Amino acid sequence: MAQTAELVGRLEGIARIRRGGNRAQMVTAALVAGDGQLTNAGALAVTTGAHTGRSPKDKYIVRDELAAPHVWWDNTGAMAPAAFERLLEDMLDYARDRELYHEALGAGADPALHVAVDVITETAWHALFIRNLLRPRLPQPAMQATILQLPGFVADPARHGTRSGTVIALDMSRNIVLIGGSAYAGEIKKSVFSLINFHAPLRGVLPMHCSANVGADGGTALFFGLSGTGKTTLSSDPDRPLIGDDEHLWSAAGVANIEGGCYAKTARLSVEAEPEIHAASQSFGTVLENVVIRDGEPDFDDLTPTENTRAAYPLQTLGAVVPAGTGPTPRAVVFLTADAFGVLPPVARLDREQAIRLFLLGYTAKVAGTERGVTEPTATFSACFGAPFMSHHPHVYGDLLAERLDASGAKVWLINTGWIGGAYGAGRRIDIAATRRLVAAALSGELDGAAMRTDPVFGFAVPLAVEGLPKRLLDPRASWADAAAYDAAAQRLARMFAEAARKLERRPVATAAE
């Protein structure tokens, strides 16, 4: 902790540091600096420049004695300790005499793993962003971290060992993160998660890239899913208060939210399908990233700047939340996928081995709808539903999930929010109302004693009927006009699963720093 405090002290000695201030003052500071525009409802709309998403190829972890034997080096770049020191000193030189913003925040609702996070940024809107997303600091944190984010600083590949002028470098021994060359605020948020993803497993705690909510009966449910699968949408349920939107810890004590806010995708956001998120995205002090504003109103359908438009707002902006950010041991785990091949069932129950396998794969499928002439689905695999943030090998997290499932007895469900009746371009996307009904049936226990069939290709247990839905919906093969074409597509996806699994086989890791 002394080393991160020392870094904050050094910055205080060379730069003009602005601390705190209420949200109105931070919005005003951003507007005065010309870094955004105010919507009619009071949200702050900003643009992030060349980077409209994360830069995973520009992320590095310092390869020292602590990190070397644990980090999944196939998944992240390694930075020599000396290069990190040069980068740190050069960023401090850049910061000299500049006006910077300091936010003293916290991450982790569980006091046993709470991290005191000092975020020092170059702009008021980045400070507002991270304040919206993190939690108040607890008085006795388990760890301390410092994040220095300077979008105007450009790294030197020859001097700093980077790939480009953009850099996200993490020193796990000192819990220092350096971000330069990118104004995309999601880098700050995910750097906190990456730090916790390294330290939590070493303490026997499972960090998860998932949302969580709790029912009236006290049953906690987890929702895993990659972008576009409906994780935020389906977990934001007025009848099930939200524990957290995106990042959680699962320990023997239960579930704890890491953040205190939501970072929701706003592409094609509608008040009819997602009323809670739509309202939160237009609240005062919400930060809208790369959202087109017309006459003071956000146009969520205009994706000219990027498909990755976002809204960052505190959890309390939503109506139904768990203020403490904690919940009891989960009773249900939901894996969400948007299968654009149109072959996975809309709902299936997974046994223990199937659950661990799909967790390690982290599958969804995407369509290149923005590229002219490209209509074929593309399989996407992101280990543990969050590979870019996984510091350890996926099997470390898979083993922890297996332990938690065994101890809790939680049921695991696969929910396909993708296509039915054919692949993308031929079939149709499963209606959100039908998906909500399937999720409700799974979480309520309605399907626990339901008659099931075994999917002949994937082996999943698939309900034969769900009240209120047509039986044909539950059998993807029956919904295809050509059963033979379905069989070929299903076998093709099964081969993709097998190939992806082979790439994630356990490997020995380094035992010393290089």
- Find the catalytic residue in 220, 232, 317, 364: 232
- In a domain, residue 256? The reply is no
- The whole-number pLDDT of residue 319 equals 84
- Find the catalytic residue in 51, 114, 190, 437: 190
- The whole-number pLDDT of residue 512 equals 42
The DSSP H or E segment spanning 497 is: helix 483-503
Boundary-marking domain end, from 175, 205, 235: 205
395 in active site: no
- The whole-number pLDDT of residue 3 equals 67
- The whole-number pLDDT of residue 309 equals 95
pLDDT tens-digit series, residues 288-338 = 999 999 999 999 999 999 989 999 999 999 989 999 999 999 999 999 999
Q: What mean pLDDT is predicted for residues 27-49?
A: 96
Of 58-67, 152-161, 265-274, 410-419, give the lowest mean pLDDT range. 265-274
- In a domain, residue 277? The reply is no
pLDDT tens-digit series, residues 67-114 = 999 999 999 999 999 999 999 999 999 999 999 999 999 999 999 999
- The whole-number pLDDT of residue 374 equals 38
- In a domain, residue 225? The reply is no
- In a domain, residue 245? The reply is no
- In a domain, residue 240? The reply is no
Q: How confident is the model at residue 507 (pLDDT cuts 50, 70, 90)?
A: low
* Sheet of 461-463, strand order: 242-244, 210-214, 220-224, 330-337, 411-416, 347-350, 461-463, 452-454
DSSP state letter for 503: H
- Find the catalytic residue in 131, 231, 248, 411: 231
State whether 48 and 194 are in the same domain: yes
- Find the catalytic residue in 47, 227, 329, 375: 227
Boundary-marking domain end, from 205, 239, 263: 205
Q: What mean pLDDT is predicted for residues 277-291?
A: 96
CA–CA dist 251, 359 (Å, integer): 18
The strand ranges marked E within 108-267 are 115-121, 143-150, 167-171, 176-180, 206-208, 210-214, 220-224, 242-244, 248-251, 254-257, 261-265
Is residue 277 predicted with pLDDT exceeding 80?
A: yes
Is residue 43 predicted with pLDDT exceeding 80?
A: yes
pLDDT tens-digit series, residues 117-163 = 999 999 999 999 999 999 999 999 999 999 999 999 999 999 999 99
209 in active site: yes
pLDDT tens-digit series, residues 354-374 = 999 999 999 999 775 433 343
Q: What mean pLDDT is predicted for residues 180-203?
A: 96
Q: Check which CATH number belongs to the domain holding 492 and give it.
A: 3.90.228.20
Q: How confident is the model at residue 21 (pLDDT cuts 50, 70, 90)?
A: confident
Q: What mean pLDDT is predicted for residues 463-491?
A: 95
Q: What is the biggest distance separating any 2 CA atoms in the chain, rounded to whole angstroms?
A: 71
- The whole-number pLDDT of residue 273 equals 83
Please report, to the nearest 10 degrees, the dihedral formed by the alpha carbons of residues 471, 429, 281, 306 taken in order.
Answer: 160
- The whole-number pLDDT of residue 457 equals 96
Is residue 27 predicted with pLDDT exceeding 70?
A: yes
State whether 349 and 492 are in the same domain: yes
Give me the phi and psi of 214, to 5 degrees please. -135, 140
- In a domain, residue 292? The reply is no
231 in active site: yes
Boundary-marking domain end, from 205, 227, 255: 205
- The whole-number pLDDT of residue 508 equals 52
> 238 versus 221: which is more confidently predicted?
221
How many structural domains comprise the chain?
A: 2
**Hey, what are 74's tokens?**
């196939």
- The whole-number pLDDT of residue 369 equals 43
Report the predicted TM-score, pTM, of the whole model to 2 decimal places: 0.92
Is residue 454 predicted with pLDDT exceeding 50?
A: yes
Q: What mean pLDDT is predicted for residues 387-406?
A: 96
Is residue 2 predicted with pLDDT exceeding 70?
A: no
- Find the catalytic residue in 58, 90, 118, 246: 246
CA–CA dist 349, 456 (Å, integer): 14
Arithmetic mean of pLDDT over the chain: 93
State whether 197 and 335 are in the same domain: no
**Helical H segments across 33-156, by residue range:** 81-95, 124-133
Q: Check which CATH number belongs to the domain holding 116 and give it.
A: 3.40.449.10
- Find the catalytic residue in 51, 54, 59, 411: 54
pLDDT tens-digit series, residues 213-226 = 999 989 999 999 99
CA–CA dist 361, 370 (Å, integer): 26
- Find the catalytic residue in 310, 331, 395, 411: 310
- What percent of the chain shows pLDDT beyond 70? 96
Q: What mean pLDDT is predicted for residues 43-57?
A: 95
- Find the catalytic residue in 70, 209, 240, 331: 209
Q: What mean pLDDT is predicted for residues 395-405?
A: 97
246 in active site: yes
Print the domain residue range for 121: 2-205
State whether 201 and 336 are in the same domain: no
- In a domain, residue 83? The reply is yes
- In a domain, residue 355? The reply is yes
In which residue are the tokens 């020995």 written? 508
